[in-house]
Amino acid sequence: MNPNENIVLTEAVFYTLLALHTPLHGYGIMQETKSMTGGRLVLSAGTLYGAISSMLDKGWIKALPGEEDSRRKEYVITDTGKQVARAELNRLHELVANGEKIINKTDIL
Amino acid sequence: MKKTVRKIFFLWEYEKEEAWINEMALAGWMLTQTGFRKYVFETGTPGEYTYRLELLEKDPHSPESKSYLDFLQETGIEVVGECINWIYLRCKTEECKFDQGKRPLYELTHLLKIQDFFNKLKHIFVVVIALCLVAIFSLEHADPIPVVDFFKGFCVGVSFGASVLILLAAPCFSRMNRKVKAAIRELYTCE
């Protein structure tokens, strides 16, 4: 992945990448995201399915080999995925730093 | 207890249809089966299930759709019926994983597909009208034998009918286009 590429991740994608630092199946990702955000972010099945499909295409996550007949596929983050999550974290840091600089300053005045 | 209701909803009335099915569920009637203009309900605890209509990209039995439907099932969503590429989904209300509230991207794909379909339909109608007009004018000086007269009449009828349909559909078109525009605007501000 080109680090200069400015990719802005959606919340669903970012949290899925976070959750997949340990292997999980779809339902597990939903529960993990819900608990990480204290119930604020509840991923819908449709959103999550779209996120998973696109991240598989991009190679940010991969499906773990499971039993052939098993419908419950487990996924895990790849190295590329980790880079993408890291880049997003840096972007978010910048966002927070600038927000604090400007919003907090005007609040004090 | 079971009851069958026959009701018609147009293609773009999926929100109305979904709202109606959810109202029935709140009143204790759970949709369990669908058919062409046909809805089969069974009694249940009011509000037990929440229903959702979705339009699939491919037919529900294609491998792509199957894998999506399997994924939904894994998260506790049931498919209760299908109609062409539309599927009727439900899940227990307390653990529901449907998109709630704003769903711009989702809405937009729905609307764009419908818009695309109607635009194609409109193009077909326009071509039919054009062909009929060409036929009428080229047959203007043809011998007035019954077959020709019949054909001319037929062309007049078809082009007139198609024009009326296009005119009648115009308000629907502009409503749909407004909806699509609003959904696109929403996209810029929401995820």
ipTM above 0.90, yes or no: no
Q: Got the DSSP string for B23-52?
A: HHHHTTEEEEEEETTEEEEEE-STTSEEEE
pLDDT of residue B186: 67
pTM of the model: 0.67
Beta-carbon pairs below 8 A across chains A and B = 40
Contact flag A71-B74 (C-beta cutoff 8 Å): yes
| Structure confidence by residue, pLDDT tens digits, B86-109 | 889 999 988 776 765 445 466 677
Q: Which of B52, B58, B68, B74 to mutate to test the interface with A (most CBs of A within 10 A)?
A: B74
Which residues in chain B land under pLDDT 50? 101-102, 104, 191
Mark yes or no for CB contact A26/B77 under 8 Å: no
Q: Are B63 and B94 in contact (CB under 8 A)?
A: no
Q: Does A37 touch chain B (CB under 8 A)?
A: no
d(C-alpha A43, C-alpha A11), whole Å:
9
Residue B138 contacts A, CB cutoff 8 Å: no
Give the whole-angstrom CA distance, residue A21 versus residue A27: 15
The structural domains of chain B, with segments of one domain joined by +, span: 2-95, 104-189
> For position B39, what pLDDT does the model report?
94
Check residue A88 and give its pLDDT.
95
Domains along chain A with CATH numbers: 11-108 (1.10.10.10)
SS3 B61: coil
**Dihedral, CA of residue A59, residue A65, residue A71 and residue A73, to nearest 10:** -40
pLDDT digits (tens, 9 = 90+) for A10-62: 999 999 999 999 999 888 999 999 999 998 988 888 888 888 989 999 999 99
Query: Do B2 and B24 touch, CB atoms closer than 8 A?
Result: no
B79 touches chain A (CB under 8 A): no
Cβ–Cβ under 8 Å, residues A29 and A48: yes
Contact flag A26-B68 (C-beta cutoff 8 Å): no
pLDDT at residue A70 is higher than 60: no
Percent of chain A with pLDDT strictly greater than 90: 60
The predicted structure's pLDDT at residue A107: 67
